[in-house]
Structure 1
Amino acid sequence: MSDDRSARLDLPQLHAGQAQKETTHNEALALIDLAVQAAVVAVGVDTPPSGPAPGDCWIVGPGPVGAWAGRASAIAGWTAGGWRFVAAREGMRAWSVADGVDVRFAAGAWRAGDVPVARLLVDGVQVVGAQQPAVPPPTGGATVDAEARAAVALMLTALIEHGLLAS
């Protein structure tokens, strides 16, 4: 990092004795406006849209062209001063309006709809944890109870389909 830019969002920084500090400050605010509580029109777009409205943002795709060239994976936002970009960083999140899901930048790519958690709590009670190993369906036995086996098989199928048990 140079003394001119911030380490995480690459925001311009003020310096003592700097003329026209408001220009640097306003540029930093414009970039913060794109990054904080980000909501994007769409994810993975390579061509800048024509006629964007101020405040509209997109996540640039892997092969950007035109005004977005060289800005792959960045958040591109249209402002009164033209396009501004915030480079993607590990862990960044945004809301994808087109998909109706959170997107997260992880391992060098934007991932839509993935919500990684170690466990899920409802009112402080764990309701979902890590996937457990497969449970074999019932077999054998001296007395065959077809209805009980069918019910157990349906429960196992539902738990597998929900991803709670391995298949």
Structure 2
Amino acid sequence: MNDRTERLGLPMLYAGQAQKELTHNEALTLIDLLLAGVVEEVGRDEPPGDPRPGQCWIVGAEPEGQWIGHARWLAGWTLGGWRFVAPREGMRLTLAGSGMELSYRGGVWHVGDVHGHALWIAGQRVVGARQPAIAIPLGGSIVDAEARAAVADIVATLQQHGLTA
């Protein structure tokens, strides 16, 4: 039997274990950092000088001080000091201040990426999968120049927004 849970690495309780409250409280502390977790900053290498209990950071690639050995992990400050959680595939957190989502996929933290098949607002589908390129109109006469310029602007805007190739 493992002494930690498979997914989040929370400490397990055992029958006959002395001072179970310590193990239980450690698990609650880690859950408190992770459940609907919010991080102050991503990629910081040095611990902040005056963290508040409950604040978290995604440690950078070259950690210093008390963060050494925890590159790209979640570091959370508690009344008992720093707690570290190794990232797991699919872990999701929110970046404080911006509200952007952080997700851990393929061994990398992704900031602000949104994945889906469509964007719906107020029950209306407003964006779907990217469509093939729209051909720029060619030919016509001089009188057609303004219409072609307007269509070209529309195509450029669609391409800029990533809606067409």
User: 1:99–1:46: structure 2 CA closer, same or farther, 3 Å change rule?
Assistant: farther
Give the structure-2-normalised TM-score.
Answer: 0.92
Q: Could you tell me which residue of structure 1 aligns to residue 56 of structure 2?
A: 57
TM-score when scaled to structure 1? 0.91
Give the paired residue count: 165
Gapped regions of structure 1 (runs ≥ 5): none
Q: What residue number does 2:159 align with?
A: 160
Runs of 4+ in 1 over 3 A off after TM superposition: 141-144
Unaligned runs of 5+ in 2: none
In structure 2, distance between residues paired with 1:158 and 1:58: 37
Kindly provide the amino acid, as one letter, of the partner of residue 95 in structure 2. S
Aligned residue for 2:102? 103
The sequence identity of aligned pairs, in percent, is: 56
CA contact (8 A) 1:42 1:99 kept: no
The amino acid across from 1:79 in the alignment is T
Aligned to 2:84: 85
Kindly provide the CA deviation profile for residues 112-147 of structure 1, in whole angstroms up to 9, marking residues without a partner as x.
111111211234432211212211110013675122
- Partner of 2:136, secondary structure, is coil
1:1-167 paired onto structure 2 within 5 Å: 2-97=1-96, 99-141=98-140, 144-166=143-165
2:83 is matched by which residue type in structure 1? R
More moved, 77-86 vs 88-97:
88-97
Q: Secondary structure of 2:140's match?
A: coil
**RMSD of equivalent CA atoms:** 1.6
Q: Deviation at 1:73?
A: 1.3
Distance 1:54 1:117 in 2: 34
- Quick check: 117-126 or 89-98, which moved more? 117-126
